[in-house]
Structure 1
Amino acid sequence: DSFFCIHIDSHQRLTFYRTGRKSSFKQSVIEWLEESIQLSELLQESTLEVWVGLIQQHYTFVPVPLYQEEHRDLYAQRAFYLPLRDATWTDSITTRDYIKVLYEADRELYKVLYQYLPEVSCTHYLTPLLRRFYEQFGDHNKTLCLANVRGGYLTLAVFADGKLIFVNLFEWQKDEDIYYYLALMVNQLELDPGKLIMYLSGEWVPDSDRHKWVRRKFKQWKWTHVQNHLFSASVKKHNLQAFQLYDLVCPFL
């Protein structure tokens, strides 16, 4: 399991970005946080706000007009095609089609998190990412795609005229996997690569082979931007660019 952690100070500046890998997320998350970022010291900050985003492939979306809380587990069972092993959790994303995000998460994991971080906000990784992207670009009357890379996952989300028409969380191991999933998305949705506006965020490296491929395929591509100049300026001191932390900073700025 992989970990990605950022800390933003009270002046909205990045103070650190940490990554790590452990064999068991549930048993080691608090241990890793303590080793890497001195969690106990950070918890003494009176204004500390903690978010945990879980990258979980067992998720689904339900339009709010059709959503009934008493059927929450049933929605999940039908979407995942397997008996629920853990609890079903829900988030909300406000778009023109207000939707609920349902996902499966380990009860024991959340119990550990709430034990050590009583004020923690837990969410599916996709929720703040899609919410923030929509807030920035959802009123466009064009077709937009967000391509975010984080760890071994590629998030692809397509908005057309402000409506979410496609989203998926793909596992990848080599660049060719990313090329395949992007081409698959274009073919499935019958999109015109020349007209699609492609926003890149997360672990993209400017002028890398992966980036050059996207530039050839999608003429209208852009880096996502964090709408906070203090934060964007501070990340440069860490040899980063703001778009590379876009998905991680979405809950905060």
Structure 2
Amino acid sequence: MVTTNNETNHYKKLSIQVSLNGLSFCILQKDTISYFKKVNFKKQLDPIKILKKIEEIYEQEEMLNQEVDEVNLIFNNALFSLVPEKLFDEEQAASYLKFNTRILKTDFIAFDNLKDEIVNVYIPYTNIINYFFDRYGEFEYRHGLSILIDSLLELPKETTGPKVYLHALFGHYELVIIENGKLIFANSFEYDTKEDFLYYLLFTAEQLNLDPNKFELILMGDINKDSEEYKMIWDYIKNISFMGPFHPFTFEEKAKPEQELSEYLLIKSL
């Protein structure tokens, strides 16, 4: 089958990010993001209540009811475990999760194959998968940490020591550490205060023998120079920067987020 330029120009890709404390949506058409919507919850919700929120948004947002050619769904939760590919057995997938999360008999276990011979085993929300399957048919879904790790492993390899990447969201963050193009650490931390935010970062650095005066901390996600968390870590870590340009797309004016870095995973999934 030959794809014409006209078909390419009208090809629409929808990306949806689902977390316990918020939702975000965007639509890419060719190289332009034509739609963006973000909804923050005041508190964490369970998957049943999240689905109700999704249904409400689809009733209100006309742009989400247009036909699209491709759908990507991102789950962002702490229900995951990273496993070396050579040790992974699909039939034993639940066993990799039982030590760090509570598993119910009804839970569906999914996994993503990552770069660097890593498998991310996780629990998605099946009620939300079923909702989008009924609406769109077959589609792709991945865990947010999978997208984050793969995107960082694609960056040019450097030999200047470990780089610590912190992807912040409301109430939690992912920490990914890469050295010489190899993943050496990845985890997710929930926090209530800026002191908690700092503690997990410094504790991880201490456990890995990383000197706060030497390693580079690169920030992305929902954090900026006005954030209380940023102001606190600035007193303890010497080399801090924000992720630079990370995508080739343009935004229609009505679809531009306040901070592009806050939608890193959503955009990188396109």
- Band of TM-score, shorter chain: 0.7 to 0.9
**Structure 1 equivalent of residue 214 of structure 2:** 195
Do residues 32 (structure 1) and 50 (structure 2) align? no
Do residues 61 (structure 1) and 82 (structure 2) align? yes
One-letter code aligned to 2:76: I
Structure possessing the higher relative contact order (Cα contacts under 8 Å, 6 or more residues apart): 2
Residues 77 and 83 in structure 1, CA contact (< 8 A), matched pair in contact too: no
Residues 147 and 184 of structure 1: CA distance in aligned 2, closer, same or farther (over 3 Å): same
**Structure 2 equivalent of residue 242 of structure 1:** 260
Kindly state the Cα deviation for residue 245 of structure 1 after the two structures are TM-superposed.
1.8
SS in 1 for 2:246: coil
SS in 1 for 2:32: coil
Which of 78, 91, 97 in structure 2 is aligned with 1:76?
A: 97
TM-score of the aligned structures, taking structure 1 as reference length: 0.83
Residues 174 and 188 in structure 2, CA contact (< 8 A), matched pair in contact too: yes
- What is the root-mean-square deviation of aligned Cα atoms in Å? 2.7
Which of 28, 37, 49 in structure 2 is aligned with 1:17?
A: 37
Greater CA drift, 154-163 or 22-31:
22-31
Q: Which runs of 5+ in 2 are unaligned?
A: 1-19
Kindly state the Cα deviation for residue 17 of structure 1 after the two structures are TM-superposed.
3.2
User: Which whole-Å CA distance do the structure 2 matches of 1:108 and 1:237 have between them?
Assistant: 28
Kindly state the Cα deviation for residue 110 of structure 1 after the two structures are TM-superposed.
2.3
Residues 144-159 of structure 1 aligned to structure 2 (within 5 Å): 144-159=163-178
User: Which whole-Å CA distance do the structure 1 matches of 2:33 and 2:183 have between them?
Assistant: 31
**Structure 2 equivalent of residue 134 of structure 1:** 153
Residues 9 and 68 of structure 1: CA distance in aligned 2, closer, same or farther (over 3 Å): closer
User: Which whole-Å CA distance do the structure 1 matches of 2:158 and 2:255 have between them?
Assistant: 33
One-letter code aligned to 2:264: Y
TM-score of the aligned structures, taking structure 2 as reference length: 0.79
Residues 247 and 268 in structure 2, CA contact (< 8 A), matched pair in contact too: no
Residues 4 and 82 of structure 1: CA distance in aligned 2, closer, same or farther (over 3 Å): closer
User: Which whole-Å CA distance do the structure 2 matches of 1:236 and 1:204 have between them?
Assistant: 22
Q: Which runs of 5+ in 1 are unaligned?
A: none
Kindly state the Cα deviation for residue 144 of structure 1 after the two structures are TM-superposed.
0.8
One-letter code aligned to 2:32: Q
SS in 2 for 1:105: coil
1:175-202 CA-to-partner distances (Å, cap 9, x unmatched) read 2221111111111111111221111011
Residues 4 and 18 in structure 1, CA contact (< 8 A), matched pair in contact too: yes
1:78-116 CA-to-partner distances (Å, cap 9, x unmatched) read 554755540110011102xx1100012343332223222
Q: Percent identity?
A: 22
**Structure 2 equivalent of residue 121 of structure 1:** 140
**Structure 2 equivalent of residue 90 of structure 1:** 111
User: Which whole-Å CA distance do the structure 1 matches of 2:163 and 2:114 have between them?
Assistant: 17
Residues 69 and 235 of structure 1: CA distance in aligned 2, closer, same or farther (over 3 Å): farther
**Structure 1 equivalent of residue 235 of structure 2:** 216
